[in-house]
Amino acid sequence: MSAPEPVRLLVIGGGPAGYTASLYAARFGLDPVCIEGYDAGGQISRSFLVENYPGIPDGTSGADLAARVREQASGFGARLVTDDVTAVDLGQRPFLVSTYDTTFAADSLVIATGSSPRPLGLPGEQELVGRGIAYCAICDGAFFAGSRVVVVGGGNAALGEALAMQRVAAEVTVIHRRTTFRADASVEAAARASGITMVTPAVVEELVQSEAGLAGVRLRDVSGGGTSYLATDGLFVAIGHVPASEPFAPWLALDRHGCILTAAGSTGTSLPGVFAAGDVADARYRQAVTAAASGCMAAIDAERWLVTGDWTGPQVEPDLAVAAR
C-alpha cells in the first residue's frame, strides 16, 4: 500500500461551497485538492433554472452554474479529483481521507459535502424514483405536465414545490401531517389562492404501484385514523434534507439537525484545522449563493489557521464532539 499523499488543504465536496473554497484556496497559494465526488456539482446541478444567483440576470441552469465555478477553481490551480470518499480519520494529524483510488494526508480540511433530500422511508420508494417519485419540482416538474401530482410537506419548500407544479400540472394536492403549516403566511396564501388542494392532517402510509410506476398513495388521517386512496401520477417529497455529515460525526460536534456545528461568523468546527461550508453546516438558508459565500469564508479561515494558527470554532463541551459515535 502506497503512503498517503500529503496535502496542505483538502476540500471534500463539489458544488458552490466546495468549488468556491477551492478557488479561494488556490488563489492563496495553498495548492488545494478538491474531492468533488462522482455526483459532482452538488444539488444545484439538478436545478433546471437558477434565476436568483447574483451577477447572472438572465438565469442559467444549475449544471452550468456549477460547471462555471468548477472551471474557475481549476483555472486558478485547484486540483479536482473525481472520486468518492470511502473513509476518514480525523483522530490523528495530518487528517487521513481515503477515496477509492488514493489516501490523502491533509494538514487542514474543508468539509462541503452538502445534503440530500429526506425520503419518506416507505417500501418501494427508491424503486419508484424516476417512475413517479421526485424530490425537486424545478428539476423534474416538466415530466408531469398535465398530470395529477401530490406534494408531501408543510414548509416553504413544500408549498414552493406545489406552486411550481401548479403552473404545469392538471391537479396539485398537498399532504401535510399537521393542520397548520410551517410555511410563511404569504407562501401559504399564494398556494391556497392558486387552487391547490390541502389535505391535513394526513400522512402517506403506502405507495401504490402499477407496471408503469406510481399509481397512487394511501393516506391515513392523523386525527381520526381512517385511510383513503388518492390516485396520482407523481409524488414530490419535500420534508427536509439530511446533511451529509455522518462520516465526520465521530470527531465533530453536530447540531440538532445533524449539521456540522460551527461558531457564529466562522466556519471553524469543534476540531482545529477542520472547517465546514455549505449545506452540511447550514440548516437554515441552503442557497447556492450562501453556500458559495461560506466556501469563501472556509478558505479564508483555513489559510489563516495554516499560517498563524488562528482558529475560531464553536465553544462546546469536549465530549460533545464524539456524542454521535
Let me know if 259 is a catalytic residue.
Answer: no
Q: Pairing relation of β-strands 148-152 and 171-175?
A: parallel
In degrees and rounded to multiples of 5, residue 59 shows phi and psi of 80, 165
Residue 150, SS3 per DSSP: strand
The C-alpha atoms of residue 154 and residue 180 are separated, in whole angstroms, by: 8
Q: What is the residue whose three cell numbers read 449539521?
A: 259
Number of H helices, E strands in the chain: 7, 17
Let me know if 139 is a catalytic residue.
Answer: yes
Let me know if 136 is a catalytic residue.
Answer: yes
Q: Looking at 39, 89, 139, 255, which residue is catalytic? A: 139
Expressed in angstroms, the distance from the first to the final Cα of the chain is 28
The C-alpha atoms of residue 241 and residue 282 are separated, in whole angstroms, by: 11
Q: Looking at 34, 140, 233, 259, which residue is catalytic? A: 140
The C-alpha atoms of residue 83 and residue 11 are separated, in whole angstroms, by: 12
**Quick check: 43 and 115 in contact, CB under 8 A?**
yes
**Quick check: 308 and 36 in contact, CB under 8 A?**
no
Grid coordinates representing 59? 438565469
Amino acid at 174: V
Q: Looking at 34, 136, 259, 279, which residue is catalytic? A: 136
Q: What is the residue whose three cell numbers read 441552469?
A: 61
Query: Per DSSP, which regions of the chain are E strands?
Result: 5-12, 33-35, 79-81, 85-89, 95-99, 103-111, 115-117, 133-134, 148-152, 171-175, 197-199, 202-210, 213-221, 227-231, 234-237, 241-243, 274-276
Q: How many CB atoms lie within 10 A of CB 183?
A: 22
Active site residues: 136, 139-140
